[in-house]
């Protein structure tokens, strides 16, 4: 009788685990589908561009989260390339590397490097 209870408990745990994996596959790995981030237009002329290499992005939700956080910076507009794990940030004012790092970390990701292009 004890073996049956253990088998049922393991089967129930396995069921919920598989259901969670399937759900994440449909809605993105980071939980739920997030609407696409609208393109941000810079207020002034573009004065420069930086490429931020980011570690830990896996899905569209990750991409949207990083874009949303960088776009919160005044004078910065981001386009994230998920396949290359980079964000190309156009700037209408000088944006410091520290500002970009803080924005990416707010989205729970890690900056590997930042270069000017």
CA of 104: how far to CAs of 97, 115, 117, in Å? 11, 15, 19
Measured between its terminal Cα atoms, the distance across the chain in Å is 68
Percent of the chain with pLDDT over 90: 66
Residue with the larger pLDDT of the pair 20 and 74: 74
Residue 24: the pLDDT is 47
Q: Is the pTM of this model over 0.85?
A: no
> Average pLDDT, stretch 42-61?
95
32 pLDDT above the threshold of 90: no
Task: Kindly report the average pLDDT of the chain as a whole number.
Answer: 88
Tokens coding 63: 């991409």
> Average pLDDT, stretch 34-41?
84
4 pLDDT above the threshold of 70: yes
């Amino acid at each position: 009788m004890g073996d049956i209870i253990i088998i049922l408990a393991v089967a129930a745990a396995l069921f919920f685990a598989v259901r969670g994996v399937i759900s994440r596959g449909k809605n993105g790995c980071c939980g739920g589908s997030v609407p696409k981030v609208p393109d941000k237009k810079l207020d002034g002329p573009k004065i420069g561009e930086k490429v931020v290499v980011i570690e830990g992005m896996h899905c569209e939700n990750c991409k949207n989260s990083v874009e949303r956080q960088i776009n919160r910076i005044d004078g910065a507009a981001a386009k994230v390339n998920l396949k290359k794990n980079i964000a190309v940030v156009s700037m209408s004012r000088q944006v410091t590397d520290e500002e970009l790092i803080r924005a990416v970390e707010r989205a729970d990701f890690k900056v590997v490097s930042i270069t000017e292009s």
